[in-house]
């Protein structure tokens, strides 16, 4: 992605659309756009192949904000992160597709990992220094996302939607595990 983002930035620099002093900003923007686009397109293609697009969209609805605000394990390269993310998505969708779990079991699993995530708190990554103010904001956004997910868990439990309750539990299981691994790996001395 870095190679393509440099080529795109070189092209718009050559066409004099940008100036040299803006090169790094545009290159970074192109790289982020390409990485997010490839990940999103691959995820949607996988969901379509599994006939699980609604489940994939619900996965995105919870997974993306929870990982963004609560932090956790971060891999060193885009490619390793991409592969891990695809593995998590495929694993989640396949488990939910082929395993049926009673709502009460899913609810207990969800509550356990939601509490674990809240207890661990935002996990700082060494490459992204944040201060206490940033951590407070991340924690507040994590609380709001957990509150939203709790409301959906209650709705799924009340209406008896075992599939989506289990999906939510598996999402929180993966987020909780990566948060715990990140906390252990990045613990400040």
Q: Read out DSSP for 43-81?
A: HHHHHHHTT-HHHHHHHHHHHHHHHHHHB----SSHHHH
- Residue 79 pLDDT > 50, yes or no? yes
- Under 8 Å between Cβ of 122 and 135: yes
CA distance 149 to 135: 21
Q: What is the pTM of this model?
A: 0.86
Per-residue pLDDT of 10-37, as tens digits, reads 999 898 898 999 899 999 999 999 999 9
pLDDT mean across residues, the chain: 91
Closest by CA position to 69, among listed 138, 129, 143: 138
């Amino acid at each position: 992605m870095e190679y393509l983002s440099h080529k795109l930035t070189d092209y718009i620099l050559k066409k004099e659309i940008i100036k040299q002093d803006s090169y790094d900003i545009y290159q970074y923007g192109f790289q982020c756009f390409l990485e997010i686009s490839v990940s999103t397109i691959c995820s949607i293609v996988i969901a379509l192949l599994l006939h699980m697009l609604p489940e994939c969209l619900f996965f995105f609805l919870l997974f993306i904000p929870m990982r963004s605000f609560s932090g956790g394990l971060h891999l060193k390269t885009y490619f390793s992160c991409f592969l891990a993310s695809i593995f998590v998505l495929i694993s989640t969708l396949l488990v939910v597709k082929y395993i049926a779990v009673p709502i009460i079991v899913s609810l207990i699993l969800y509550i356990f990992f939601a509490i674990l995530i809240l207890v661990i708190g935002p996990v700082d990554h060494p490459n992204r220094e944040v201060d206490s103010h940033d951590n407070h904001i991340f924690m507040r956004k994590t609380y709001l996302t957990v509150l939203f997910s709790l409301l959906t868990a209650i709705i799924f439990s009340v209406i008896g939607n075992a599939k989506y309750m289990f999906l939510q539990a598996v999402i929180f299981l993966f987020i909780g595990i990566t948060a715990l691994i990140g906390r252990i790996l990045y613990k400040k001395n």
